[in-house]
Structure 1
Amino acid sequence: MAGRGIRLSRRNTDAVITSMMLPVMMMLVFVYLFGGAIDTGTEYVTYVVPGVLIVCAGFGSAGTAVSVSEDMKGGIIDRFRSLDVGGAPILAGHVTASVARNLVSTALVLVVALLIGFRPEAGPAAALAAAGVLLAYITAMSWLSAAVGLLAKSPEAASGFTFLVLFLPYPSSAFVPIETMPSWLHGFADHQPVTPVIESLRGLLLGLPVGTAPWIALAWSAGFLAVALGLSGVLFRSRTS
């Protein structure tokens, strides 16, 4: 099932290229067009890269919703069930393919970031911790996206999940410090799911104090994963019964 998911990604080259290039283009736009007007106390490319990694992870994961919805609409699920393939392997295949795509996209973003001046200061332990936090977020978002794909009635409806995951990093610390936002937005920006993930990546990659941010980020990811797994099981049974 994982191999099938990767082959489907290779055939849908336009979506793969978009998911890889959009975060890179967004990073270049923010760094070169807006970065000079935003004061973060450091080089803007250094500040913005962790946020772009989250955009990359969210956008790449959101494509899973469309893939799952297309399977449900196309009738292939009935053929799999006739071969005694259950819902868990089918969905896990889509999620594995999503994680693989995201790892490639993340590597591309980091290479371009290094070329335009990003200089991480993480040691081996901090780099592994940052990779673990990001991988947990990608996995949780991919499973949540799979659940959305089961819930949506059409691939077009499932694609609406992309809007949510692209919007969520904006009212966070991804692109500007939270204290520069209107005061009424601080509560949401401080406590929404992606902020601790971004702060964890920023602190771990740049050698800054992270406090409890990584644990909060992992707790959010674990919560999303638990909800997505339970919801996926219920939705798959109801859609295929």
Structure 2
Amino acid sequence: MILELENICKSFHQPRSGAIEVLKKVSFTLGTGETNAVTGESGSGKTTLLSLIAGLDSPDHGRILLEGEDLCVMKEDRLSRYRAMKIGIIFQQFHLMPHLSARENISLPLEILKQQQITERVDVMLEKVGLQDRQHHLPGQLSGGECQRVAIARALIIKPALLLADEPTGNLDIKTGDKIAGLLFDLVEKENKTMIMVTHNSDLAGQCQKIRKLEQGRLA
């Protein structure tokens, strides 16, 4: 298994109402090359779950194992490096560096990890997402769809064990969103990537092999 979640619980403290339990004993596993969608109403815990799997937050109870390594017991420096090497994240709002070109945004994770053959790897990825002619443009000079292509390329360039996508088409019009979804699923299939996608879009969720629905913090 690539990913194992065991009895994950997470609460947040509210000044007036006290502790609010957002996730309640969530458990599931994910194998190599599997694509899962996580759906649910707003406030059901989807974003919190993705944040925990990404190692950006810690659960109150339970274990999160990525390739057998428990993220919950790692010290911060090791967790940061492990996350940078193993997890690719695609955000709804793109989260690109505005002062860097498309090419520089894609190469950034490799530069941070001090990887080899960066130029060649970025060239290949630019071709895969169809941005060779726009590689030297800044995010402010690109369309929303082009920015998301950059974000997808940046997430995949590290060859992650796990790809996380948070509403990857939520900031795009329907036509552009369909194109981006097609590109993403095509790349995931060709590269045999394991992906968890949080989405409100039932058509998008339906393209995943499995749909998991969160209801009031529990998997339905």
> Higher RCO, 1 or 2 (CA under 8 Å, sep at least 6)?
2
Q: What's the TM-score, normalizing by structure 2?
A: 0.28
| Larger strand percent | 2
The structure with more radius of gyration: 1
Q: What's the TM-score, normalizing by structure 1?
A: 0.26
| Larger helix percent | 1
